[in-house]
Structure 1
Amino acid sequence: MRSLLIVYHSQSGACARLARACCSAAAGVKGLEVRVSRAWDAGSADLLAAHGLLLVAAENSGSLSGGVKDFLDRTFYPVGEAGRVLPYGLLISAGNDGRGAREQARRILSGYPLTAALEPVICRGEVTAAHCRQAEELGEAFATGLEMGIF
């Protein structure tokens, strides 16, 4: 069975809410195991056990949240040494416009053994029902692509 790891960092609760929305939609895809973890609690073993990664990160001061950067720092060498390339998706909860966090994530991930499966989704401002629907759509699309072997 293929598996999807959703990793999030949330100080205000916004990214936790978006990660739950991604998870609820992804969990509806049959034949796929979905696991959600806070960035502080996830590690390279979790990532190496997954077939795909969905990152849910906040934009803090125009940059990618520290918790997600820490997760990527801690897992970079163990995942790279394993020689696996995993597909990933990115969802950003942005207080500003989110472009700085998106570009920083792209720079970090370009040197990481991950490949972008879908375009990043940026949810600007306070989390709304529309943002949760965007997160659900991303979660379902990513999970479906993983399950079908597209990614």
Structure 2
Amino acid sequence: MAAMPTLLIVHHTPSPTMQAMLEAVLVGARDDAIEGVDVVVRPALAATAVDVLAADGYVLGTPANIGYMSGALKHFFDQIYYPCLDATVGRPYALFVHGNNDTTGAVRAVESIATGLRWKRLRAPVTVIGTPDVKDREACWELGASTAASLML
């Protein structure tokens, strides 16, 4: 029997806002309508190349810090880039980003690294400025659900 596909969610959630966005992504990814997908969640500072290699798709979450992704997510990429470079080509990913003023630099930085890894972006990133409203939380839910559903056999 083939192993169940795995969605790896790597996040840095230092604020209540990022935590709320992560929780919405998780509820979407774990929706009852999505069957046969294992959802694994790792903080960016704890996620390893082994986690990435074992997964079939990825959701990444980061705050926008000083115009860039969080140092924690950058550390994650630094740890996994070369060990995973050839083995994860073409795998799908999605991104959610929170910023107080702007998310452009953080999105650009993550997309640049994901392009280097030759991962396939599934959909436009969910970006939130300020406090997430109902529509923002729904967008996070949809991000988690659609990414997990894309892995269903």
Q: TM-score, normalised by structure 1?
A: 0.90
* Unmatched segments (≥5 aa) in structure 2: none
Q: Give SS of 2:151's match.
A: helix
Asked whether the equivalents of residues 88 and 115 of structure 1 are also in contact (C-alpha less than 8 Å), the reply is: yes
* Aligned amino acid, residue 120 of structure 1: P
Asked whether the equivalents of residues 13 and 22 of structure 2 are also in contact (C-alpha less than 8 Å), the reply is: no
**How many correspondences in the alignment?**
147
C-alpha distance after superposition, 1:35-77 (max 9, x if no partner): 1111011111111111000001110111111111110110001
RMSD: 1.4
**Structure 1 segment 69-88 matched on structure 2, within 5 A:** 69-81=74-86, 83-85=87-89, 86-88=91-93
Identical aligned pairs, as a percentage? 32
**Residue 118 (structure 2) pairs with residue 95 (structure 1):** no
Q: Give SS of 1:89's match.
A: strand
Asked whether the equivalents of residues 5 and 53 of structure 1 are also in contact (C-alpha less than 8 Å), the reply is: yes
In the alignment, the residues of structure 1 paired with residue 13 and residue 119 of structure 2 have an alpha-carbon distance, to the nearest angstrom, of 22
43, 51, 54: which one pairs with 2:56?
Answer: 51
Q: TM-score, normalised by structure 2?
A: 0.89
Asked whether the equivalents of residues 52 and 146 of structure 1 are also in contact (C-alpha less than 8 Å), the reply is: yes
Structure 1 match to 2:29? 26
* Unmatched segments (≥5 aa) in structure 1: none
Asked whether the equivalents of residues 8 and 16 of structure 1 are also in contact (C-alpha less than 8 Å), the reply is: no
Larger strand fraction of residues: 1
